[in-house]
């Protein structure tokens, strides 16, 4: 069998003007990955095209080939489609700060925005269905490039990883909506490819973060 390790990127800069770069904590998380992934000696290393994907791969000690199929969905577009006034970041921050817990308020708002996308609302350049098809095609394309016993490491995001896991478990959209928010930064999901196709072996494994202060979800 061949094995594909899907690695969620390290923590990005949540709340900053430029989200798509690693935070200081994210840099530490990515360096920690090298201890786990180094012994694998993968035959193929891929990443999505986002900067946080590339930075995670580099700090973990890998040079990755880009496959845009592993890109995350446009979370900013989801927010604006749900709350057009949030096109102005200052308006969003002021609104979310009124309840006393901006992070909790953001999560509640983002959950609603994501559900609108799943339900087929308008205002998106990529539908939820198209996103799922793209993510699924990317992992299957990766599997086709591997020979028996070979290994691939893919640096991607929580969304595509949740698609792969939910589809292989036949869980549908409902399972994706539950898995996506709990994907941990730098967690590793393992998929094997054999005669029977793709099989999910483990999801969201993050033992390399246990006993440390490096664990984060966003």
In sequence order, what DSSP letters do the residues of 6-31 get, joined into one string? EEEPPPB-TTSS--SSB-HHHHHHHH
Nearest to 12 by CA among 159, 163, 191, 164: 159
Q: How confident is the model at residue 218 (pLDDT cuts 50, 70, 90)?
A: confident
Residues 6+ apart with CB under 8 A from 207: none
Output the pTM of the full model.
0.93
Q: What is the mean pLDDT of residues 2-27?
A: 88
How far apart CA 201 and CA 95 sit, in angstroms, is 42
If residue 168 lies in a helix (H) or strand (E), which one and from where to where?
helix 158-168
Give, to the nearest 10 degrees, the angle between helix 89-96 and helix 102-118. Answer: 120
pLDDT of residue 108: 92
For 101-147, write each residue's pLDDT tens digit: 778 888 999 999 999 999 999 999 999 999 999 999 999 999 999 99
How far apart CA 150 and CA 106 sit, in angstroms, is 41
pLDDT of residue 89: 83
Domains defined along the chain, listed by start: 2-72+132-209 (3.40.50.1240), 75-118 (no CATH)
Pick 91 or 8 by higher pLDDT: 8
């Amino acid at each position: 069998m061949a094995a594909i390790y899907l690695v969620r990127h390290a923590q990005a800069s949540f709340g900053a003007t430029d989200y798509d770069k690693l935070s200081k904590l994210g840099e530490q998380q990515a360096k920690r990955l090298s201890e786990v992934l180094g012994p694998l000696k993968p035959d193929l290393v891929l990443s999505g095209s986002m900067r946080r994907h590339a930075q995670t791969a580099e700090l973990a000690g890998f040079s990755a080939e880009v496959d845009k199929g592993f890109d995350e969905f446009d979370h900013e577009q989801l927010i604006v489609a749900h709350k057009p006034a949030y096109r102005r970041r200052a308006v969003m921050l002021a609104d979310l700060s009124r309840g006393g817990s901006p992070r909790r308020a953001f999560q509640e708002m983002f959950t609603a925005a994501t559900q609108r996308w799943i339900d087929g609302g308008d205002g998106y350049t990529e539908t939820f269905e198209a996103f799922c098809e793209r993510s699924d095609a990317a992992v299957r394309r990766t599997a086709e490039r591997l020979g028996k016993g070979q290994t691939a490491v893919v640096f991607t995001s929580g969304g595509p990883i949740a698609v792969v896991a939910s589809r292989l478990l036949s869980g549908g959209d409902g399972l994706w909506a539950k898995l996506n928010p709990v994907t941990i930064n730098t967690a590793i999901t393992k998929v094997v490819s054999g005669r029977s196709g793709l099989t999910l072996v483990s999801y969201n494994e993050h033992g390399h973060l246990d006993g440390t202060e490096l664990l984060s979800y966003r």
